[in-house]
Amino acid sequence: MVGGGRGAFIGAVHRMAANLDGQIELVAGCFSSNPEKSKLSGQDLYLDPARVYTSYEEMAAKESALPLGDRIDFVSIVARNDMHYKVAKVFLEAGIHVVCEKPLAFSLAEGKQLRDVAMNSGLVFALTHNYTGYPMVKEARAMVRAGKLGRILKVVAEYPQGYAITALKEQADGAISNWRMDPSVSGVSNCIGDIGSHAENLAHYISGLELEEVAAELNTFIPGRPLDDDGSMLLRYKGGARGVLYASQISTGDENNLNVRIYGTEASIEWHQEHPNELIVKFAEQPRQIWRRGNSYNGPEAAKNTRTPFGHPEGFIEAFANIYRAAGEAIADAILGNPAPIAGYDFPSIEDGVIGMAFIEAAVKSSKNNSAWTKLDV
């Protein structure tokens, strides 16, 4: 692991998820740019001190020099946005598979360069858009693929949070307390880059539609902050479907209310992240249905990604774990020389990451141009 040391929320989530099925073991890491903090974090995790590194460059060099079977099989990158490209490139060039937090990179240009490096390496690159890991999200995608919704007409994706609203009441001191609001670390966007990208990816994963262009208005409601904390946009998909996407961190009272609705000519589906074990299915002339995870009527995609019987909720950690398990299958096959399954592997790829970066930059560009329609440059 690179990043995710003491006090880091997402690093702990990744470690729990990776270990959930007992098939992935954390054996090495550089957990902070501060060498002392990295060493202490390694102690917290009971790692061999010789494999707790003071820089990611040292880690890549020393691990890749070890014999296959002794060295790390892959690296999990959970550092800040501005580090993703640098770290991933070093490990790919060292011949080590990569699992990386989103967004893929600091900028679209970096993302495209990293895609080239990954493609040329032939290594596995998984991106942890974790919401794609929920069983009922996979059930929704299977329904779309099977044609049960008919032709997709409309996509509505929302991701409202309210945590940032408290900053309006705090005494402004000119400091940027949240690194996601720092352009030198976060990139061109805060809200759309942080959570709007999740809404875009989830809509793409379920619907299978390719986003073509956006007309966006991004806002900054908290004074003194240089990046957006709210955004709304219209979407045009290839093939004629249309969409609406809204992401916000100043939606008072909302916690983590990611949800997506897909409307087709035969039926529609609706999924809410705060109630992840349910999928709402709606028809024009029938009562709405609520499908639940862990039941015999679930399809094979949902069943494969379900660990506990019906009535026992699964959630955030398990969704992350499903991505790690799928990435682990691909990495194991690559190491053993096994052919990939005909259906491929079910985890977000580096191509999804490039699409996400193109979405973020198109939204920012559109907003700066009076919400003009702006094509994604993928």
Q: What is the mean pLDDT of residues 325-334?
A: 98
Q: What is the mean pLDDT of residues 129-139?
A: 98
Q: What is the mean pLDDT of residues 217-240?
A: 96
Q: What is the mean pLDDT of residues 163-175?
A: 66
Confidence of residue 173 (pLDDT cuts 50, 70, 90): very low
Domain-located, residue 315: no
Domain-located, residue 243: yes
- Asked if residue 295 and residue 149 are part of one domain, the reply reads yes
Residue 257 has pLDDT above 90, yes or no: yes
> Which amino acid type is present at position 126?
A
- Asked if residue 262 and residue 168 are part of one domain, the reply reads yes
- Asked if residue 286 and residue 195 are part of one domain, the reply reads yes
Domain-located, residue 329: no
Query: By three-state DSSP, how is residue 247 classified?
Result: strand
Q: What is the mean pLDDT of residues 117-132?
A: 97
- Asked if residue 182 and residue 159 are part of one domain, the reply reads yes
**Residue 181 confidence (pLDDT):** 85
Domain that holds residue 95: 9-123
Residue 175 has pLDDT above 70, yes or no: no
Domain-located, residue 354: yes
CATH code: domain of residue 251: 3.30.360.10
Preceding omega of 160 cis (within 30 degrees of 0)? no
* Residues whose CB is less than 8 angstroms from the CB of residue 80 and which lie 6 or more positions away in sequence, other chains included: 3, 179, 185, 186
Q: What is the dihedral of CA 352, 357, 359, 364, to 10 degrees?
A: 170
Number of H helices, E strands in the chain: 12, 12
- Asked if residue 207 and residue 158 are part of one domain, the reply reads yes
Segment 177-199, tens digit of pLDDT: 577 788 999 999 999 999 999 99
> What span, in angstroms and rounded, lies between the C-alpha atoms of 41 and 57?
18
* Residues whose CB is less than 8 angstroms from the CB of residue 203 and which lie 6 or more positions away in sequence, other chains included: 155, 157, 209, 243, 245, 260, 262
Confidence of residue 280 (pLDDT cuts 50, 70, 90): very high
Residue 291 has pLDDT above 60, yes or no: yes
Domain-located, residue 67: yes
**Residue 174 confidence (pLDDT):** 42
User: pTM to 2 decimals?
Assistant: 0.95
> What span, in angstroms and rounded, lies between the C-alpha atoms of 110 and 141?
30
More confident of the two residues 179 and 170 = 179
- Asked if residue 92 and residue 234 are part of one domain, the reply reads no
Which of 78, 127, 119 minimizes the C-alpha distance to 99? 127
Structure tokens at 353: 């990451």
Hunting for tokens 């493609």 — which residue is that?
Answer: 119
**Residue 334 confidence (pLDDT):** 97
Strands (E), the chain: 74-77, 97-100, 125-127, 152-160, 211-219, 230-237, 242-248, 259-264, 268-272, 278-282, 289-292, 374-375
**Residue 177 confidence (pLDDT):** 54
Mark which of 83, 101, 123 sits at the end of a domain: 123
- Asked if residue 155 and residue 75 are part of one domain, the reply reads no
How high is the mean pLDDT of the chain? 95
Per-residue b/e over 38-58, b at no fewer than 16 CB within 10 Å?
Answer: bbbbbeebebeeebbbbebee
Q: What is the mean pLDDT of residues 72-99?
A: 98
